[in-house]
Amino acid sequence: MRSRKARFLVLSILVVVALTLSGCAGRQTVAPEEGTGTSSEAQDPNATGQGAQPQEGAEELYTPSYKPNGKETAVIKTSKGTIEVELYGKDAPIHVGNFVELAKKGFYDQTRFHRYEPGFVIQGGDPQTKGLSADDVANAVRTGNPPLGTGGPGYTIKGEFDPAQNPNKHVEGALGMARSQSPDSAGSQFYFTLAATPFLDSQYTVFGRITEGLDVMKGLRVGDEIESVTIQGATE
């Protein structure tokens, strides 16, 4: 009897873990997933949001025209303070090129973080949060209306998490790209890991790491604003 109960308990735990990692269908989370819908902003090439796995599911993969030089640093100004991130342009050139292009367009400016999982991740980059107040975002997360985590830039990019090409790990303060269940469904939504999360390695693309402002990142919550994202060291 004890043996059967133990097996049932283990099975239940595995089911919960599997559901957590898969996320909700159509959303980009972390297991950061991005959605598969297409908001009005996602259709605007000058907008800056990539939905949780950017509604982008079945769209043609985008290849950024920007080619990283390996010296880029992202300066992310938030309502809680400033974060500086070393970008891994040599290991994840598509993701860094995409992030740089979106940042230069102002895509992330005035968006808000829409997902916080204690001890796991803080996630942002959904253009559907632009123009919403902190309370609006909190209410949307609670009610599911609008369904945040489903916005994107209107395209997706190829995953770059093969350890042979990109050996970077999900250490504390890592910058990764959210996606949906498809490995090539990332668009604009990104996350910071609040602690080392090795089970995400080789499943989600790490394309940077915080070098300044780790304490700021740890203080971020749902509704906090991304005031601006600028890139230092980028080739003009």
User: Lowest-pLDDT range, 47-56, 151-160, 201-210, 218-227?
Assistant: 47-56
Phi then psi for 77, rounded to 5 degrees?
-95, 120
Q: What is the pLDDT of residues 99-113, one digit of tens each?
A: 999 999 999 999 999
Burial class (CB in 10 A: 0-12, 13-18, 19+), 121: buried
Q: What is the pLDDT of residues 67-79, one digit of tens each?
A: 999 999 999 999 9
User: Is the distance from CB of 192 to CB of 81 less than 8 angstroms?
Assistant: no
CA–CA distance, 104 with 210 (Å, rounded to integer): 19
Confidence of residue 218 (pLDDT cuts 50, 70, 90): very high
pLDDT for residue 5: 53
Q: Where are the strands (E) in 72-161, listed by range? A: 73-78, 81-87, 111-112, 115-117, 121-124
**Mean pLDDT, rounded, of the chain:** 84
Q: Which of 165, 156, 207 is nearest to 183 (CA)?
A: 156
Rg of the chain's alpha carbons, rounded to an integer?
17
Residue 80 has pLDDT above 60, yes or no: yes
pLDDT for residue 38: 35
Q: State the CATH class of domain 2-232.
A: mainly beta
CA distances (Å), 87 to each of 3, 57, 95, 206, 213, in order?
50, 25, 9, 9, 15
What's the DSSP call for residue 127? G
Residue with structure tokens 């991005």? 34
User: Is the distance from CB of 130 to CB of 148 less than 8 angstroms?
Assistant: no
Residue 117 has pLDDT above 90, yes or no: yes
Predicted TM-score of the model (pTM): 0.79
User: Lowest-pLDDT range, 46-50, 139-143, 178-182, 186-190?
Assistant: 46-50
Average pLDDT over residues 9-26: 42
